[in-house]
Amino acid sequence: MSKFGEGLCIMDGIDFSLEEGRMELNHKNHFNRRDFMFSASGILAAACFGSRANLYTPFIQKKELALELSEEEAKIVERSSMAKELMNYFGKGYSCAESILMVSLKHLELPEDSIWAACGFGGGMGKKDLCGLLTGGIMGLGFASGALQEERSEAKRLCGVAVDKYWKWWQSQAPLKCQDIRSPGTSSEVCVRLGKLAAAEAELLIEEMRGQ
């Protein structure tokens, strides 16, 4: 079990070493941030940050992404109002991130002009980076937690649980980055399929939060 000093921050000149099964600060070795992140001690420290470290776990297992829904997936989509509503926006002037946030807002009966929060996240933030269906879905979960009749600390906890589940679900479905999901010149159907499934999963998690 890791034990860190109070007020810990990662900065130049700080190393982490493993001693008697605990992570302790060690100021003896001084090197820059980049060296730290790629050192053995840096890797061990990252492993001790808990589930949030998994947010940066790359999708390693390459697999061919389906273009069409399976029979079971089609049933999941059919049961989801958000998944069915998604196609009213996706590819019709709304990016992937905007589309999934929009159906989340409509499901939550929140002001639709909040869609602008996702404006810069389409196409992997315009850099083919994190997929907008992933980032936009997480935004929707954030809005859902804000609509709960809970204390702020509890609402944030519930949001964290939902985001963790959504992230792990996504990692079971596809790579994190747009560039690894759809190659230039290939069919957009892979994104359509993922969008429907992501909207269905987001709706499920929103309802789970509401049921707490």
Does residue 26 lie in a domain region? yes
Q: What is the mean pLDDT of the chain?
A: 79
Return the bridge partners of 19, or none. Answer: 22
pLDDT (0 to 100) of residue 185: 85
pLDDT (0 to 100) of residue 43: 33
Low-confidence ranges of the chain (pLDDT < 50): 1-61
Number of domains within the chain? 2
pLDDT (0 to 100) of residue 29: 41
Helix axes 132-146, 189-210, angle to 10 degrees: 20
- Domain shared by 124 and 157, yes or no: yes
Structural domain for 40, as ranges: 15-48
- Domain shared by 36 and 107, yes or no: no
- Domain shared by 42 and 82, yes or no: no
pLDDT (0 to 100) of residue 186: 85
- Domain shared by 79 and 145, yes or no: yes
> Which residue, among 199, 131, 134, has the nearest Cα to 167 in the 3D structure?
134
Does residue 95 lie in a domain region? yes
- Domain shared by 150 and 183, yes or no: yes
Does residue 56 lie in a domain region? no
Q: φ, ψ for residue 71 (rounded to 5)?
A: -60, -40
pTM: 0.71
pLDDT (0 to 100) of residue 31: 39
CA 119 – CA 32 distance, rounded (Å): 35
pLDDT (0 to 100) of residue 64: 79
- Domain shared by 141 and 106, yes or no: yes
pLDDT (0 to 100) of residue 212: 60
pLDDT (0 to 100) of residue 62: 53
CA 98 – CA 133 distance, rounded (Å): 8
pLDDT (0 to 100) of residue 8: 38
